[in-house]
Amino acid sequence: MSITIPGVPEFLTREQYLAPLRAIGIEPERLVEIRYARDGIHALVVATLPDSLAAYVDPCRNATHKHRVFIPVRDEPDDERTTRVTPVKN
């Protein structure tokens, strides 16, 4: 028997799942993982070649490059944080 939480749906449709990703500009094909936190959205995405959705693969290591993306939530008018993209070391 599973526990239910009022207001939490039993499932999401594919469109409901994809809508927040599109709203923050992350292509679903690139997403590895995402985490919503109080300070913002943290995502791990597959790095792609410029002007392409093709994954960037390191030929020496045969490994796909990834980026960590942080999109901050601003609560105060003087908060100057902006989106940060950090390469992940393979």
Where is average pLDDT lowest: 10-19, 28-37, 57-66?
57-66
Nearest to 88 by CA among 40, 30, 28, 36: 30
Cβ–Cβ < 8 Å for 56, 64:
yes
Q: Assess whether pLDDT exceeds 80 at residue 9.
A: yes
Mean pLDDT of 42-70: 77
Whether the Cβ atoms of residue 32 and residue 46 lie closer than 8 Å to each other = yes
Given a contact cutoff of 8 angstroms between Cβ atoms, the answer to whether 13 and 20 are in contact is: no
What's the confidence (pLDDT) of residue 27? 86
The per-residue pLDDT for 3 is: 85
The full set of domain ranges for the chain reads: 30-88
- Could you tell me the pLDDT band of residue 85, with boundaries at 50, 70 and 90? very high
* Residue 54, C-beta contacts closer than 8 angstroms, at least 6 positions apart: 48
Q: Is the pTM of this model over 0.75?
A: yes
